[in-house]
Amino acid sequence: MAKVMWNESAMQQNLFAWIDRRAHKTEWMKTIYHPANGGHRHIATAERLKREGVRAGVPDVIIPRPIMAPDGSIAYTGMAIELKVGSNKLSQAQAAFCYALVQQKWFVMLVHDFSEVAAYHICKAYDEPMDDIPDYAVRYPDKWASCVNRWSKYDFDEFTKGGFNAR
């Protein structure tokens, strides 16, 4: 994986290249996906997609697999990751959607700048080997990521007022 990401699309492509390489050995990784919500579309297409159920604010990476607690119970329903680069912040719709996922026992991460950090958090959450994760991502994963589940209701309210950067 590349070390520096200059836009969210490149960061996401880099992460999914890693996921696709891993999926050959780790079957459940084939279920990780990106909901194609973003992008510019013709207004008629956008309206049709909205009627079909496309929702604003859905995170970039969805992992529909429970995260198990050490005692074997389900700790989280699944994992969602929002990717950002530079000083980009969550939109109000993204903050609201992340908050809704947290309320439904999802583990939600906001990852900045490095797809390797997202890969690290996936491996950590699902107890996967980290042999292909770069040292800087393993040693300092929280430098570029924030666990949304640890945010208070105040933090989410700040986002809906115009946002702060959780980094």
Can you give the pLDDT at residue 158?
65
- Counting beta carbons within 10 angstroms of the beta carbon of residue 133, is it exposed (0 to 12), middle (13 to 18) or buried (19 or more)? buried
| Residues in a beta bridge with 81 | 61, 109
26, with CB counted inside 10 A (0-12, 13-18, 19+), is middle
pLDDT at 152: 67
pTM for the model stands at: 0.85
Q: What's the pLDDT at 32?
A: 97
For 8-160, CATH number? 3.40.1350.10
Q: What is the mean pLDDT of each run of 10 residues along the chain (167 residues)?
A: 68 94 94 84 86 90 95 95 88 89 93 89 92 86 77 65 49
Q: How many CB atoms lie within 10 A of CB 61?
A: 22
